[in-house]
Structures are given as structure tokens and as C-alpha cells.
Amino acid sequence: MDPTKPAERPEPHPLFKAGQSDSPITLTALRVGVGSIMVVHGWLKLTDAAAWKDQVVQLGMPAPELTAWLAIAGELLGGAGLVVGLLTPLAGLGVLATMITAIATVHLGHGLLAKDGGYEYPLTIALVAAFFIMRGAGPYSIDALLSGRRPRVHPDPREGSTPPMHTTPPR
């Protein structure tokens, strides 16, 4: 070690780069958080399905019986798929379709702000769902486990540099 040069700081381990947009911790937290919110909303509709169906009828939706159950499935099953990262593009599509429907039928006429009944909340959830449809679940998911795309991590920096978190291990 040369005392005339400042000491170099080692690169932080990829698991601890939570501020980066592609951090596995960040992606997992976003996916699980939004999925959990959707599961709760779907569960509330399922546990009072009659009242939910009445609300769908009052909205003037076509085929209200079917539409009510599709919304429950989109929120409950789509949310659960996001939570565990299973069939993530399909799960995200269920959430996205439900949020677009909510925006178009309930929130659009109230403007943007949620405080006025506007569409900012369902739009945010829809954008997150679209992100996971396009991006996938990330390395900490059942999708990654089933496809063999789990992250490879070298805990000892002397073993060499750590590969990116979303590389596919050699077969």
C-alpha cells in the first residue's frame, strides 16, 4: 500500500446499492409493496362481493357480474402474483387492467388529485404494474427461481468482482 495515495474504498456489495434503480432490494420492495396493497383491495371486494357487485351495477359497467369478478381477480390474484413474483407479467396485466378501468369509470372526471377523488393513486399503481410487466419480477422472485435467473453473489471480494445481479448463471 502506497502511503502517498489515498486509500481506495471498496465497491459496495450489489445487495447494498438500494439507491440504484435496478437494486434487487428496491425492485423487490416495490413489487411486494404494490402487490400487498392490491391483495388488500381485492380481499375487501371478495369478502363483501354482493356490495361490490352492486357498486359495479351502479357504475353502469357492462356485464356487471363478470366485471365485478374480473376486478376481484385482477386485484387479488394479480396482487398475490406480484407479492411472490409468480407469472409477473400476467399478474401485472391484471393489476394494470383493473387500474385503467378504475381510472376510466370512477376517477377521471374528478381530475388528478386523490384528495378530490382523482386518478393519481390508480395511475401510480398502473404505472408500477406496467413497469413489472415490461421488466419482470427481479432476481428475488419465484419467476427467477423457476427460470434459474437467481443472482450470483461472491461474498468475498478477493474472489473477484461481483457480477451484475441479473445475470444468468452458467449452466
Query: What is the predicted pLDDT for the residue at 71?
Result: 98
Query: What is the predicted pLDDT for the residue at 4?
Result: 72
Confidence of residue 105 (pLDDT cuts 50, 70, 90): very high
Query: What is the predicted pLDDT for the residue at 162?
Result: 47
Among 128, 131, 123, 82, residue whose Cα is nearest residue 106:
123
Among 61, 67, 55, 75, residue whose Cα is nearest residue 122:
75
* Domain membership flag for residue 47: yes
* Domain membership flag for residue 169: no
* Domain membership flag for residue 40: yes
Distance CA 77, CA 37 (A): 12
* Domain membership flag for residue 164: no
* Domain membership flag for residue 168: no
Question: What domain range includes position 124?
Answer: 21-150
**pLDDT surpassing 50 at residue 79:** yes
44-to-2, 49, 130 alpha-carbon distances in Å:
64, 8, 23
Higher pLDDT, 151 or 129: 129
* Domain membership flag for residue 52: yes
Confidence of residue 23 (pLDDT cuts 50, 70, 90): confident
Query: What is the predicted pLDDT for the residue at 74?
Result: 98
| pTM beyond 0.85 | no
Total domain count, the chain: 1
* Domain membership flag for residue 139: yes
Q: What proportion of the chain, given as a percentage, has pLDDT over 90?
A: 73
Mean pLDDT of the 19-26 span: 74
Contacts of 7-13 with CB under 8 Å at 24 or more apart are 10/157, 11/157, 11/161, 11/162, 13/153, 13/155, 13/162
Query: What is the predicted pLDDT for the residue at 148?
Result: 86
